[in-house]
A and B are shown apart, each in its own frame.
Chain A
Amino acid sequence: MSKNEQHWEKTRGLLFVTLAIWFVFSIGIFLFGAEMNEVTGPFGYPLTYWFTCQGSLGLFVILIFWFANRQEKIDEEFGFSEKGDK
């Protein structure tokens, strides 16, 4: 397998992991919205309510930064990162 193919394989793996987490917090948990709302979540808000107004939103922010870092690592590993970049 060529270097490019290996790089793409890893990139695709990271994509699937990232999208799986994204799927859980944007779609998955809302399948059980009514049941989850009975539970008290962070700061005392009903759990589903908290996810819609803070939880999922904040998680997406963290997820993107995490993804960006992991992808940079993959690029570095194969020597594909850009030169002279801050």
Chain B
Amino acid sequence: MIKGNFVDNLPKIYGLYTGGFIGFIILMAICEQMGMTAKTIGICFVAFTVFIYALIGYLSRTAQASNYYVAGRQVPTVFNGMATAADWMSGASFVAMAGGIYFKGYGYMALLVGWTGGYVLVATLLAPYLRKFGCYTVPDFVGTRYGGNTARLMAVIVLTVASFTYVTAQINATGTIASVALDIPFQYAVYIGLISILLCSMLGGMRGVTWTQVAQYIVLIIAYLLPVFWISNSIGAGFFPHFMLADEVARIGELEQQFGFVKNAAADLKTVPKGLAGITKAHSAVNATPWAFISLALAMMMGTASLPHVMMRFFTTPSVKAARKSVGWSLFFIFLLYSSAPMLATMSKLSLIDPTLPTGIIGKSIAEVQAIDWYQNWNQANLMYVSDFNGNGTLELNEFFMAGKAVVLATPEIAGLPYVISGLVAAGGMAAAMSTADGLILAIANAISHDVYYKMIDPKAETAKRLTVARVLLVVIGFAGATIAAMEIQGILGSVIWAFDFAMSGLFFPLVLGVWWKRANKEGAIAGMALGLISGFAYLIWVRNGGSGFLGITQLTFGIFGSAVSLVAMVVVSLMTSAPNAATQRMVDDARVPSGAQVITQQK
């Protein structure tokens, strides 16, 4: 199936796959009618989809370096777009984003703008030129453009710090979903999640990851959009929620006025279970200062353009032209989900707080709410909580608490959708977290195997040996990530945002100036990467330990400080040292035109 003209058959293969998956959803719906329990449906969904990914991973096995590192550079633009979208949208995007918008409104939506606007930087500043370079990994570009092992090693270090921060959150998310769906303790579920992740990537490397990511994108987008459209219709908000929720948004504003945002006493808040929050911010009003919004968006945009696991997806296209188009397709597929998250948050919030709707709980008596089936379920799962702080027997807006992920996980049930949808959502969340984790683990393992082992330690190593090293590293890094994830140190979303800041502190300017400023040299790049990463990290530690920070840069946007230091260091040091030699200058010239041979010729 994978051999021969596989690439030409892609639309047919994934068309069949999509049809098969929809058939499976219908089959599950019929089983539910016939009395299959909710738990069995959940297990079927997760087990079936993970089995398919593992099968694709197995069929994509390879013994060639170019297949393992860049999927043979033959991934068509649209499919690479889907794979990038799955690579990009993590468990956080899928499970936590609608929740964040639900609780924080405008201030949080800077992430939506940041996580899409960054692709404009990717398309214009970097992707086509790095594709022309013909590198296997991002440090491969740094090492070749600037020359020398120190620059290469620095890039590997920045990549590892950023990606590893990110990957623990993803393994954590797969563990959370697996533990809920399969009903096993989190500590074991984390390793089940990890093994599923490794099954996709170990045998086929980038090739396996590419084709599983396309499959995962199809599952996650169906799992996200189907409930959004269904809920919109079942609460009577209109057939196409994206264009028809203006009245609902306005209605939430009215209700907010009517209820007011009552501040709870600290002692009362202590009784609320950890991780749950109440609605304290306006839904559609501007509730953040321009700089708070812009700085967060800017940090996320520059971070997007520096994250190696995204960049390396554009190394797999057949040409420079295809790389550019492919960025557009990636963003289109991301847009489908990101533009739906605010709609889901709106519908979820309105159906809970509007007393005139049958699902509304604000204004009902506490005892009545506590007797609702779905409330009991989600309360037991520690995702929802009500408490009568003022003792009037009625539920007020400030007495209702929910976890962020409940917006995606619980809204289908609240709106009265059948359980098969909840099973589908679990499969979608699993797909989102697995695909991102795969991309990240592969980025780290490839950088260490290709740039550290092959380029520095043993340049004469044979392909078979190189790939064995790459696979062993994949497993080691995966287990290290899972072990840290099992300790549950940080929340999912916080560590994702840190990863962006680390990446932009160390890599943004060394990558961009490598293409756009010929005068940038090795010494400058090393200074830029080292000082950028160190100063960003130091700022984070300072603010975390009670430091006041400056210019309104918080622990979520420390990359702005780190990258500014990186830029200054890189320019100053480059100008103080000698210009790069003629060969390097010619290399940059070659990278700037799409035609002609790749700059680096890789050994097959």
Contacts and interface: CB of A to CB of B under 8 A. Distances in A.
Interface of A: 4, 7-8, 11, 15, 18-19, 22, 25-27, 30-34, 37, 43-46, 48-49, 51-54, 56-58, 60-61, 63-65, 67-68, 71-72, 75, 78-83, 85
Interface in B273-332: 284-286, 288, 290, 293-294, 297-298, 301, 318-322, 324-325, 327-328, 331-332
Contacts, number: 148
Contacts of A30: 110, 113, 290, 293-294, 297
Contact of B335 (A7, A11, A58, A83): A58
B589 interface: yes
- Nearest 9 pairs of A and B residues by beta carbon: A44-B246, A53-B342, A26-B117, A52-B109, A64-B328, A68-B324, A49-B284, A65-B328, A22-B120
B376 interface: no
21 contacts: A22-B120, A26-B113, A32-B290, A46-B284, A49-B249, A52-B110, A53-B342, A56-B113, A58-B335, A58-B339, A60-B116, A61-B328, A61-B331, A64-B324, A67-B124, A68-B123, A75-B594, A75-B595, A80-B593, A81-B595, A83-B595
B462 interface: no
B469 to A, nearest CB: 33
Given A48-B286, A52-B106, A57 B339 contact: yes
B339 A67 contact: no
A7 B294 CA distance: 34
Contact of B319 (A11, A25, A44, A85): A85
Contact of A4 (B116, B120, B288, B592): B592
Contacts of B318: 85
Interface residues of chain B: helix, strand, loop or mixed (majority): helix
A57 B106 contact: no
Interface in B160-194: none
A69 to B, nearest CB: 9
A76 to B, nearest CB: 10
A52 B112 contact: yes
B119 interface: yes
Given A45-B249, A52-B109, A71 B324 contact: yes
B29 to A, nearest CB: 31
A85 B109 contact: no
Interface residues of chain A: helix, strand, loop or mixed (majority): helix
Contacts of A49: 106, 249, 284
Contacts of B119: 60, 64
Contacts of B124: 15, 18-19, 22, 67
Interface of B: 106, 109-110, 112-114, 116-117, 119-121, 123-125, 128, 242-247, 249-250, 284-286, 288, 290, 293-294, 297-298, 301, 318-322, 324-325, 327-328, 331-332, 335, 338-339, 341-343, 589, 592-595
Given A27-B297, A52-B109, A56-B113, A7 B593 contact: yes
A49 B345 CA distance: 13
Nearest to A26: B117
Contacts of B324: 64, 67-68, 71-72
Given A27-B294, A33-B290, A48-B106, A56 B123 contact: no
B24 to A, nearest CB: 30
Nearest to A18: B124
B320 A82 contact: yes
Contact of B120 (A18, A43, A78): A18
A64 B343 CA distance: 25
A68 B325 contact: yes
B120 A60 contact: yes
B242 A54 contact: yes
A80 B331 contact: no
Contacts of A56: 113, 116-117
